[in-house]
Amino acid sequence: MSNEPTIEDYYFEDRKFPPSDEFRAAAVAGDRSLFEEAEADRLGFWARQARELLTWYRDFDTVLEWELPYAKWFVEGQLNVSYNCLDRHVESGKGDKIAYYWEGEPGDTRTITYGDLLSEVSKFANVLKGLGVERGDRIAIYMPMIPELPVAMLACARIGAIHSVVFGGFSPDSLIDRINDAEAKIVITSDGGYRRGAPSGLKVNCDVALGSTPSVTAQVVVKRTDQDVEWVEGRDHWYHDLMAEASDDCPPEHMNAEDLLYLLYTSGTTAKPKGIMHTTGGYLTQVAFTHRTIFDLRPDEDIYWCAADIGWVTGHSYIVYGPLTNGCTSVMYEGTPDTPARDRLWDIVERYKVTQLYTAPTAIRTFMKWGTMEPAAHDLSTLRVLGTVGEPINPEAWMWYHEHIGGESCPIVDTWWQTETGGHMITPLPGETVTKPGSATFAIPGVNIEVVDDAGNKIERGGGYLTITDPWPSMLRGIWGDPERYMETYWSEYPGRYFAGDGAKLDEDGYIWLLGRVDDVMNVSGHRISTAEVESALVDHPAVAEAAVVGATDDTTGQAIVGYVILRGTAEAGDHLREEIRQHVSKKLGPIARPRTVVLVPDLPKTRSGKIMRRLLRDVAEGRVLGDTTTLADESVVDEIRSRARDSPQED
C-alpha cells in the first residue's frame, strides 16, 4: 500500500440537489435529528433502533461488547429473523398484504402475501429438519431469482441453520470451493432459470460440484424450467414432493443476537474467496433501519424494487431481510433488463407503480447507451426515490438517472457499503441531504467514517483511504474458518481502524467521494472479482505459463478484466488460443470473470525483487503514459507488451 502513489484529486463538482420542501416535510428523516441523537449517544441510538424496529423474545442486556476486532451487539438478546420478517406481520393482521410481486423473465407472474410466505417457509423449514438439518448446520443455496430462494433463506433462519447463497452465475468449481469451505450439509438448487429468453441449467452445475463435496448429504431441486435433469436416487429430492408432505407448523428457534445468520463469499486479494460471517440481531437492526430511512419507506403504500440479484449482498439485505422486516411490498424480477426488449425495467416500474428503484451504476450506463426513448415511453411518475450501489457512479450517469428516470424530482441515494458492512454506511438521507452528482455524501447516523493518509492520519480534505473508526451493528463478525485473515485484511493496515480497501476523498464541504478499490480487487459491473482468482484460473489452462490480471476502466462495466498471459514454450499463439483461454476462465469461475481481453505476452513487467507491477499493466490497458518505471527490472518488456496489447481484440 505505502508503495502506491497517493491518490490524486482532480474532479470538481458544484451542482447541488437539495430535497424539495414537500419531500422533506413528509420524509422518514427530514432533518438532522437522527444525526444529533447518534452523536449524543451512539449506542443508545442503535439500541433504540433495535428495540423499535425488531421484535425480541428476550431484550438485550448490553448494547455492545467490543474487543478489537470482535464485536458483540445486543448481548443476551434473543430473536428470530424469520419471525421478524413474517410471523409478526401476519399476527398483526397483515397476512394478506403482498410481500412480493414476482415476475419471471418469460412474463409469468406470482403474487405472494406475507401469509403465503409464512406457510411456505414453515413447511420448508420442516423439510430441512426432515433431511436432518440442525441448528448451526450450513446450507448452500444456488438458485435463480425465484420466490423459493427467499423461502429457502428464511427457512434456514427459522431453524437456526446458516445459509450460504452462491450466485447462480458461478461455475461448478466456484461452487465446490464455497461448499467445501463451509462444509455445507444440504444444497438447494433448481433445474434452472430463465436468462435472456432461454432456460439456463443450474442443477447440472451442482451435479458436477457434488462429485467433489463430501459434506453434502442431499440436494433439493425446485422445478422452474422443466428441462431434463439427471437424478441420483437417495441424494436428489424434488422440492414440490417434499413440500407436499410437510406441515406448515414450525415454531421459530429462539436465536441469540450473535448467532450466525449467514455466510456470503466475497473476493479478496488472494485466490481463495472469504466466507463473510453475518449474525442475527445487529445485522437485522442496521438493515431494517437503513432500508426504512434511506429509501424513505412508507410500508403501507410503497412498491419497492431492488433490481439486484439475491446472490449478492445487496439482494440479501435489500430484497430479503430489510424489506420483509419492514413489512413492505417488493417487486422481484427473475431475468435480464433487455428481455424481451430494452424497456423491460420501465415496463415493470409502470405496471407495478414502483415507488423506489435500487440498481447499479453499470446498469444505468447500459440504459444510457440504449437511449432515452425506452424510459420516455413509460409512465415512471410513481417513482419517489432512486438508489445506486456497487461502484462509484460517474456524474454523467447520475444526471441521466436524475433526469430520465427520476423526472428531476426524485432524490438519488448513492449508497456505499460492502458485503462486509452488511448494510448501508455512507449515503444521503433522501429527505435531508443536499446531494452532489457522484458523491455518496456522508456516513449514516451511528456510523463513524474517516479518510486517512498513507501513515493512517486522519485528513480533512483531499484523497486518501476510507476507514471506519468504530464497530457498527451489521459489521461482519469474521471470515469463516480464518480469524487471522480477518484481522490481517481489515484491522491491521491502520491499527484500531477497519480498512475497507477503497480510496476516498473529502471535498471542501466534507462530502465523501469514493475512488474505487486500492487493493488487487477489480469491480466489474459492481461485482468484486480478485485479480488473484482470475490469474489462477488462467494459469490453470495447460497452455499458460504465467499470468497477470488488471482491471482497466471500461465505459459500461466500470472496470473490465484484462489478462496478460505468457504461454508455455510449446503452445502456438493465436486468436483461437486466446479465445480458448478466455472461455477457460469462464468455465472455471463463471462468465462474469471472463477477461474482456487476453494479451499474449513474452514477459511481464517485474520489479527487481520479482513482483509483478500491475500499475504499469493498468497504464498499458488504459492506453496511458507509463508511470514511474524506475523499479522495473527490464524496461523493454513494457514496449513489447504495449504493441501486443494494441493487436489484441476486445471481446464482449
x/- map, 103-132, ligand WTA, by CB under 6 A: ------------------------------
Q: Round to whole Å and give the CA distance between 371 and 342.
A: 10
Q: Decide the pairing of beta strands 597-600 and 558-567.
A: parallel
Which residues, listed in sequence order, are joined to residue 343 by a DSSP beta bridge?
none
Q: Is residue 266 at the binding interface for ligand WTA, with CB under 6 A as the rule?
A: yes
Smallest gap from residue 439 Cβ to ligand WTA (A): 9
Q: Decide the pairing of beta strands 356-359 and 329-333.
A: unpaired
Smallest gap from residue 421 Cβ to ligand WTA (A): 8
Which residue shows C-alpha cell 424513505?
Answer: 296
Smallest gap from residue 217 Cβ to ligand WTA (A): 31
Torsion of CA 326, 144, 283, 386, to 10 degrees: -60
User: How far does Cα 514 stand from its chain's mean position?
Assistant: 17
| Closer by beta carbon to ligand WTA, 35 or else 312 | 312
Q: Is residue 392 at the binding interface for ligand WTA, with CB under 6 A as the rule?
A: yes
User: How far does Cα 435 stand from its chain's mean position?
Assistant: 23
Torsion of CA 302, 308, 312, 318, to 10 degrees: -10
| Closer by beta carbon to ligand WTA, 126 or else 314 | 314
- How many binding residues for ligand WTA (CB under 6 A)? 23
Angle between helices 33-40 and 42-53 in degrees, nearest 10: 120
Q: Is residue 313 at the binding interface for ligand WTA, with CB under 6 A as the rule?
A: yes
Q: Round to whole Å and give the CA distance between 86 and 506.
A: 41
Q: Is residue 475 at the binding interface for ligand WTA, with CB under 6 A as the rule?
A: no
Q: Which stretch binds ligand WTA (CB under 6 A): 56-64, 76-84, 486-494, 509-517?
A: 509-517
Which residue shows C-alpha cell 469491480?
Answer: 523
Q: Round to whole Å and give the CA distance between 32 and 429.
A: 10
Give the Cβ contact number of residue 509 at 10 Å. 12
Task: Give Cα separations from 88 to 80, 84, 181, 324 (angstroms).
Answer: 11, 6, 35, 11
| Closer by beta carbon to ligand WTA, 124 or else 513 | 513
Q: Is residue 500 at the binding interface for ligand WTA, with CB under 6 A as the rule?
A: yes
Instruction: Name the grid cell of 587.
Output: 468455465
Q: Is the dihedral of CA 41, 47, 48, 53 positive or negative?
A: positive
293: left (phi over 0), alpha (psi -120 to 50) or beta: alpha
Smallest gap from residue 580 Cβ to ligand WTA (A): 29
Candidate residues 365, 517, 588, 594; the one interacting with ligand WTA per rule CB under 6 A: 517
Smallest gap from residue 565 Cβ to ligand WTA (A): 26
Answer yes or no: are the C-beta atoms of 458 and 451 closer than 8 Å: yes
Q: Is residue 531 at the binding interface for ligand WTA, with CB under 6 A as the rule?
A: no
Closest CA to 327 of 541, 89, 107, 486: 89
Smallest gap from residue 484 Cβ to ligand WTA (A): 21
Smallest gap from residue 415 Cβ to ligand WTA (A): 5
Q: Which residues lie below 8 Å from residue 326, measured CB to CB, with a gap of 6+?
A: 53, 288, 291, 292, 297, 299
Candidate residues 523, 525, 530, 597; the one interacting with ligand WTA per rule CB under 6 A: 523
Q: Round to whole Å and give the CA distance between 162 and 127.
A: 15
Q: Round to whole Å and give the CA distance between 399 and 408.
A: 9
Q: Is residue 391 at the binding interface for ligand WTA, with CB under 6 A as the rule?
A: yes
Q: If you ran DSSP here, which 8-state letter would residue 517 be given?
A: E
Smallest gap from residue 602 Cβ to ligand WTA (A): 33
Q: Is residue 314 at the binding interface for ligand WTA, with CB under 6 A as the rule?
A: yes
Smallest gap from residue 186 Cβ to ligand WTA (A): 25
Smallest gap from residue 522 Cβ to ligand WTA (A): 10
Q: Is residue 100 at the binding interface for ligand WTA, with CB under 6 A as the rule?
A: no
Smallest gap from residue 283 Cβ to ligand WTA (A): 14
Q: Is residue 137 at the binding interface for ligand WTA, with CB under 6 A as the rule?
A: no
| Closer by beta carbon to ligand WTA, 391 or else 450 | 391
| Closer by beta carbon to ligand WTA, 308 or else 620 | 308
Q: Is residue 530 at the binding interface for ligand WTA, with CB under 6 A as the rule?
A: no
x/- map, 408-447, ligand WTA, by CB under 6 A: ------xxxxxx--------------------x-------
Q: Which amino acid is at 315?
A: G
Q: Which stretch binds ligand WTA (CB under 6 A): 107-115, 383-391, 448-456, 589-597?
A: 383-391
| Closer by beta carbon to ligand WTA, 252 or else 411 | 411
| Closer by beta carbon to ligand WTA, 171 or else 415 | 415
x/- map, 217-256, ligand WTA, by CB under 6 A: ----------------------------------------
Residues engaged in binding ligand WTA (CB under 6 A): 266, 312-314, 389-392, 414-419, 440, 500-502, 514, 516-517, 523, 528
